[in-house]
Amino acid sequence: MKQVGLAILLFASFCCAEESGSFQPASTNVWGAEYPRVDSADRAEFRVKAPDATKVRLNFWSGPKLDMVKQPDGFWAVTTPPLVPGFHYYTLIIDGAETSDPNSLAFFGGGKDASGIEIPEPGSTYYSAQDVPHGQVREIWYYSKVAGTWRHALVYLPPNYDTETKVRYPVLYLQHGAGEDETGWTKQGHANFILDNLIAAGSCKPMILVMAYGYARRAGQPAPDLTGKPFGSPEMRRAMQEMVAAFEDDLTQVLVPYIDANFRTIADRDHRAMAGLSMGGMQTFQVTFDHLDMFSYIGGFSGAAGALVFGNQKFDVKTAFNGAMADPAAFAKRVHLLWVGVGTAEPEGMRAGLVGLHDALEEANIKHVFYESPGTAHEWQTWRRDLKDFAPRLFQQDGK
Amino acid sequence: MKQVGLAILLFASFCCAEESGSFQPASTNVWGAEYPRVDSADRAEFRVKAPDATKVRLNFWSGPKLDMVKQPDGFWAVTTPPLVPGFHYYTLIIDGAETSDPNSLAFFGGGKDASGIEIPEPGSTYYSAQDVPHGQVREIWYYSKVAGTWRHALVYLPPNYDTETKVRYPVLYLQHGAGEDETGWTKQGHANFILDNLIAAGSCKPMILVMAYGYARRAGQPAPDLTGKPFGSPEMRRAMQEMVAAFEDDLTQVLVPYIDANFRTIADRDHRAMAGLSMGGMQTFQVTFDHLDMFSYIGGFSGAAGALVFGNQKFDVKTAFNGAMADPAAFAKRVHLLWVGVGTAEPEGMRAGLVGLHDALEEANIKHVFYESPGTAHEWQTWRRDLKDFAPRLFQQDGK
């Protein structure tokens, strides 16, 4: 019975990860995979089978790019220098083909299911599962009249949502970055554990998180034909603007009403926040400033005002967002929180845009919070820290 | 601002899938990926970038293995013969390295995040999202004293679970196969849509589905060292038996009580079913026959009695499972449903085991249902059909 044998083999493969010296299999591995593994100095050792390849390269998206070395057994191996703690995307480039590592769980980034490795941060328990009450993450499917399709979103409900059936909760809409999807904030970001831990410590209000799919095309709208259109061309910018606009309409006209109808929310602007990372930050600024009747808390994690992206022009506080900030006192009263964050190790162009926004807001006396994550790049460790700083500031207008 | 440019590029990549002739991008693709694509004759066309590779092979796990052909632009391409409708796992073998296709969403199978392609089945709407009330799939994390770890499971709750707060529901525990994980039944199987559609049609009782992670190791138990132990060796069989036993204890001592404590279940054996595919079917038979005080509905989808796996001996109805079937009339009264299914195109060894079980049950007058899925292999289309046949037979003892 060959197939039964196969089942045993597959089955057995799940029980045999070994630990070696101070190297331990990464927590992001599939069960049973010994590699990649991480030592106490935060070095990671990779090993991948490619017997007939002539070149294999380890490609960290925000980290080292290293040639792997062929071993006599047909595997290729390399050990990295010490890595920054946190979650890092990577791929393998095998004879020019960019692929994922079968030893790693898949994490959606860069427009594909890519590989990732978690480097532990000593002493940081805020984003891991602890012995505290746990909320639930629910998958929802809603039909969008804007997009003309069923759309998928994830919803985190705080602990005791099911048992305390009279309590209503504020909502934070939390968006992923470009190339990622609605699974990013839980799989890569551990947003559910961050909220569980903050709520258990009494550091933030119990709240609902809604993680939507950040891409949309209007019903009946054909895919734009960008063949031959150069990068950054007007056609490409227009396609992007149309997409953000479709997402904005889906979120505000379909998803928010769906959430308010199907969960015990407090359905007003004082109890509705939005934040997002990178592209999601840009979307957040566009959506919230277009709909200040719906949102009163705004967070940009390594990404913010669309003007910075679309125009490269200096951010003009007086005229931006139809003059919403023209009167700083009125703005501070209307918007309970304007929050902008960036990692100190982010690429200079990106960092400069966010610092420039902060400076412009500062100069114009616009009340806001500016947070810098020490030593982290345009990566999830920055955004985990952002959420940890941002969430406790939400929904405090009712008093603690 | 190079990084902003990158964001635009990534962003734009999500809006540009094109359709060509009768070929359409597969529904299992990442958004924006034109390939693989499927035509009306169920042929699939693949295209992958590997400019420096010398050999690229398309590897369907239950289907064709085809050499891809290098194109002048550094891509490799191939078109398959017509494929059987349903979901098919595949990988790419690039110069000996088995990798996933970046154009495909990831589906956990074979112990890794692999690729998959959906070939539409004309007229089959039972496993797709329809305009009917939708249940929710929830992620839960529970601490297992058996495993000494936090464990993840998925729970489907039927439509109106949140609004009809007095109603309690029966529960079906539904297990994945070897090499898969708790995400298989929703991502590959569409179990949530199958239940939504059956419930909407009045064809099955509203029920809760619990999809657990099918691997476990006891707290403090080291990974077995199988170095040098040949395939199918006593050591490997023992490791597998220990793992199934740990899973059994986790399910019956931790997960079932957790589900009954946290969801509105009807917590008795008359309202508790278990089924699983392949390895999950084997686990189902072991768990349910060891705990007939907890379960009264049993389903084996292309996998069943552990004796078939562990012993290769003939299944002896009189002595199997401590004689639970020795008295056919008493067994039929105690077990409301014993259900076994297999696809007609499954590998002969596997098919023979299931047919042999059916024959032995038939010969011994053990009441059961035997279902054959026409034309499908050891794949998800078989198991979707299994669930569609199995679920309507559950929990009917209270009358319709």
Query: pLDDT of chain B along its 400 residues, tens only?
Result: 344 444 544 444 444 444 456 899 999 999 889 999 999 999 999 999 999 999 999 999 999 999 999 999 999 999 999 999 999 999 999 999 999 999 999 999 999 999 999 999 999 999 999 999 999 999 999 999 999 999 999 999 999 999 898 999 999 999 999 999 999 999 999 999 999 999 999 999 999 999 999 999 999 998 887 778 776 788 888 888 899 999 999 999 999 999 999 999 999 999 999 999 999 999 999 999 999 999 999 999 998 865 444 445 567 888 888 899 999 999 999 999 999 999 999 998 889 889 989 999 999 999 999 999 999 999 999 999 999 999 999 999 765 4
What is the rounded CA–CA span in Å between residue A247 and residue A343? 27
Output the domain CATH number for residue B187.
3.40.50.1820
Please state the φ and ψ torsions of residue A342, each to the nearest 5 degrees.
-155, 150
Interface of B with A in 17-56 (CB under 8 A): 17-18, 30-32, 48-56
Does a structural domain hold residue B127?
no
pLDDT category of residue A302 using cuts at 50, 70 and 90:
very high
Strands lying side by side in the sheet with B69-70:
B24-25, B37-38, B44-49, B75-79, B69-70
Contact between B106 and B115 under an 8 Å Cβ cutoff? The reply is yes
Does a structural domain hold residue A15?
no
Does a structural domain hold residue A12?
no
Q: Collect all residues of chain B within an 8 Å Cβ-Cβ radius of residue A349.
A: 1-4
Residue A252 and residue A158 share a domain? yes
**Contact state of A138 with B138 under an 8 Å Cβ cutoff:** yes
Does a structural domain hold residue A226?
yes
- Between A81 and B235, the more confident residue is A81
DSSP state string for B287-327? HHHHTTTT--EEEEES---HHHHHT-SPP-TTTHHHHTTSS
What is the rounded CA–CA span in Å between residue B13 and residue A192? 29
Range of the domain at A296: 136-393
What is the rounded CA–CA span in Å between residue B26 and residue B116? 10
Residue A360 and residue A388 share a domain? yes
What are the residue ranges of helices labelled H in chain A?
A: 2-12, 184-187, 191-200, 234-250, 256-262, 279-290, 306-310, 320-323, 328-334, 348-363, 380-390
pLDDT the model gives residue B398: 67
**Contact state of A139 with B186 under an 8 Å Cβ cutoff:** yes
Residue A224 and residue A311 share a domain? yes
Residue A167 and residue A66 share a domain? no
A313–chain B Cβ distance below 8 A for any pair: no
**Contact state of A4 with B308 under an 8 Å Cβ cutoff:** yes
Does a structural domain hold residue A8?
no
Residue B140 and residue B114 share a domain? no
Does a structural domain hold residue A167?
yes
Of A62, A89, A119, the residue at which a domain comes to its end is A119
**Interface test mutation site (partner A, options B103, B104, B139, max chain A beta carbons within 10 A):** B139
Closest CA to A54 of B101, B52, B20: B52
A68–chain B Cβ distance below 8 A for any pair: no
Residue A144 and residue A85 share a domain? no
**Contact state of B113 with A103 under an 8 Å Cβ cutoff:** no
pLDDT category of residue A329 using cuts at 50, 70 and 90:
very high
Residue A368 and residue A261 share a domain? yes
Interface of B with A in 176-215 (CB under 8 A): 177-179, 186, 192, 215
> CA separation (Å) from B290 to B149, B305, B322, B326?
24, 12, 9, 15
pLDDT the model gives residue B130: 94
| Total number of domains in chain B | 2
CB atoms within 10 A of CB A215: 23
- Between A5 and A329, the more confident residue is A329
Residue B352 and residue B305 share a domain? yes
Closest CA to A48 of A103, A95, A3: A103
Q: Collect all residues of chain A within an 8 Å Cβ-Cβ radius of residue B15.
A: 215, 217, 223-224, 239-240, 243
Query: How many Cβ pairs within 8 Å bridge chains A and B?
Result: 278
Burial of A122: CB neighbours in 10 Å, binned 0-12, 13-18, 19+: exposed
**Contact state of A50 with B165 under an 8 Å Cβ cutoff:** no
Q: Which residues contact A270 (CB under 8 A, 6 or more apart)?
A: A296, A336, A395, A397
Residue B196 and residue B260 share a domain? yes
What is the rounded CA–CA span in Å between residue A106 and residue A120? 18
**Contact state of B53 with A97 under an 8 Å Cβ cutoff:** yes
What is the rounded CA–CA span in Å between residue B281 and residue B287? 10
Check whether A324 has a pLDDT greater than 60. Answer: yes
Q: Which residues contact A239 (CB under 8 A, 6 or more apart)?
A: A224, A226, B12, B15, B16
Its ipTM equals 0.86
> CA separation (Å) from A369 to A194, A281, A339?
20, 15, 5
A332-346 exposure pattern, b = at least 16 Cβ within 10 A, e = fewer: beebbbbbbbbbebb
Report pLDDT digits (tens) over A117-168: 999 999 999 999 999 999 999 999 999 999 999 999 999 999 999 989 899 9
Residue A155 and residue A54 share a domain? no
Residue B366 and residue B270 share a domain? yes
A378–chain B Cβ distance below 8 A for any pair: yes
Nearest chain A residue to B213, by CA: A31
**Contact state of B99 with A103 under an 8 Å Cβ cutoff:** no
Output the domain CATH number for residue B8.
2.60.40.10
B353–chain A Cβ distance below 8 A for any pair: yes
Q: Is A20 helix (H, G, I), strand (E, B) or coil?
A: strand
Does a structural domain hold residue B161?
yes
Q: Which of A221-235, A263-277, B5-19 has the highest mean pLDDT?
A: A263-277
The whole-model pTM stands at 0.91
Check whether A4 has a pLDDT greater than 70. Answer: no
Of A119, A147, A173, the residue at which a domain comes to its end is A119
**Contact state of B100 with A102 under an 8 Å Cβ cutoff:** yes
What is the rounded CA–CA span in Å between residue A143 and residue B130? 10
Does a structural domain hold residue B398?
no
Nearest-10 crossing angle of helices A380-390, A191-200: 30
Residue A146 and residue A53 share a domain? no
Of B92, B119, B146, the residue at which a domain comes to its end is B119
**Contact state of B4 with A48 under an 8 Å Cβ cutoff:** no
What is the rounded CA–CA span in Å between residue B88 and residue B117? 5
Closest partner residue to A138 among B10, B137, B232, by Cβ?
Answer: B137
Q: How far is A1 from chain B (nearest CA, A)?
A: 5
